[in-house]
Amino acid sequence: MPEFIHEHSVVVTGNDGMRYRARVYGERRREGTWSGWIEFTPADGGRAPSTLRTGQETSQPDRKAVEYWAGGLEPVYLEGALTRARRAASAVPQR
């Protein structure tokens, strides 16, 4: 089950001007290691589409290591992750 790891204080702005808050989540795998990803939620209320999620951004030996990784992410990394999340969302067919 996914676990909330960290919320960044930096608000990330996409190339379309939409602003997002970045939250890192992680999940323990069957073999005991952890995967981590980033979810972006609209910072300006309901103007933006729903939450955008990256694919796996990291693989770590335990939850503490995911926390350490998440705490060290720089704004430029988050900007790139937002671009990846937006690409992934646009690749999913809309119903």
Domain limits for position 44: 3-90
What is d(CA 1, CA 10) in angstroms, rounded to the nearest whole number? 26
Q: What domain count does the chain have? A: 1
Burial of 47 per CB tally in 10 Å (0-12, 13-18, 19+): exposed
Section 30-35 average pLDDT: 97
Q: Is residue 19 part of a domain?
A: yes
- pLDDT score at 16: 80
What is d(CA 61, CA 59) in angstroms, rounded to the nearest whole number? 7
Q: Is residue 57 part of a domain?
A: yes
Query: How far from each other are the two terminal CA atoms of the chain, in whole angstroms?
Result: 26
Q: What is the pLDDT of residues 12-24, one digit of tens each?
A: 998 888 899 999 9
Q: What is the pTM of this model?
A: 0.89
Average pLDDT, the chain: 91
* 50 pLDDT tier (thresholds 50, 70, 90): confident
Task: Provide the token pair at 61.
Answer: 């030996």
Q: Is residue 95 part of a domain?
A: no
